[in-house]
Amino acid sequence: MTRPFRTVLVTLACALPLAWLAATATRGDAASTREAQAEAGLPAAPTPADVVVAELDGQAERLRQRLANAPAPRVPARDPFRYRLPDLPQTDPRAGFAVVAPARPHGRAVAPALASAVEPLRFVGLAEDTVEGVPVRRAILSGFDQLFIVGVGESVAGRYTVQAIGADAVELRDEAAGERLTLALR
């Protein structure tokens, strides 16, 4: 190696680290750069992060304005998770049973005289399980716009009590009238 080439190489080897140190010392963070520009009276150049923040703030404000003018949600007219209508009014069993006809989906109502003449309950199914070797039956009854799953001795609609459950019929006792009623499986 020649002497001038070695001199250039040593100079570069010393100058590069010094240039690197000088660049890192003068670079500083964005806040100090903005402060220096503000002291010098220069307008601060927005950083890419400032642009994104300003855009998000504008979108958030537009969303707040839209939501302020949005209509309030409606209260649902029905509960899709409940199968039955509200309970029938309670009456004194000694005074007799009054059938209150619920409104039908098409706006028609069943006449009270017709509703009392028609059998209010239907025996639509039977469930049986064996507990300790003994079969236990439960009757599935439909009526009063409800579905009842009842066993012997249980009450149905506050008016009937299940007396017996057979393979194809269920026997009920009408507590208001004191009569026995047999419903066949349909």
CB 181 within 8 Å of CB 167: no
Tell me if 160 is assigned to some domain: yes
Whole domain around residue 117: which residue ranges? 97-184
Tell me if 73 is assigned to some domain: no
If one counts the domains in the chain, the total is: 1
pLDDT per residue, tens digit, the chain (186 aa), is 688 888 988 898 888 888 887 777 665 566 666 676 677 776 667 778 888 999 999 999 999 888 888 777 777 676 677 665 555 555 555 545 444 445 444 444 444 443 443 468 889 999 988 889 888 899 999 988 889 999 999 999 888 999 999 888 999 998 888 889 899 887
pTM of the predicted model as reported, rounded to 2 decimal places: 0.38
Tell me if 67 is assigned to some domain: no
- Give 159: exposed, middle or buried? Use CB within 10 Å, 0-12, 13-18, 19+: buried
CB 145 within 8 Å of CB 102: yes
Tell me if 176 is assigned to some domain: yes
Tell me if 28 is assigned to some domain: no
Tell me if 39 is assigned to some domain: no
CATH number of the domain encompassing residue 134: 2.30.30
- The SS3 assignment for 146 reads strand
Tell me if 155 is assigned to some domain: yes
Tell me if 54 is assigned to some domain: no
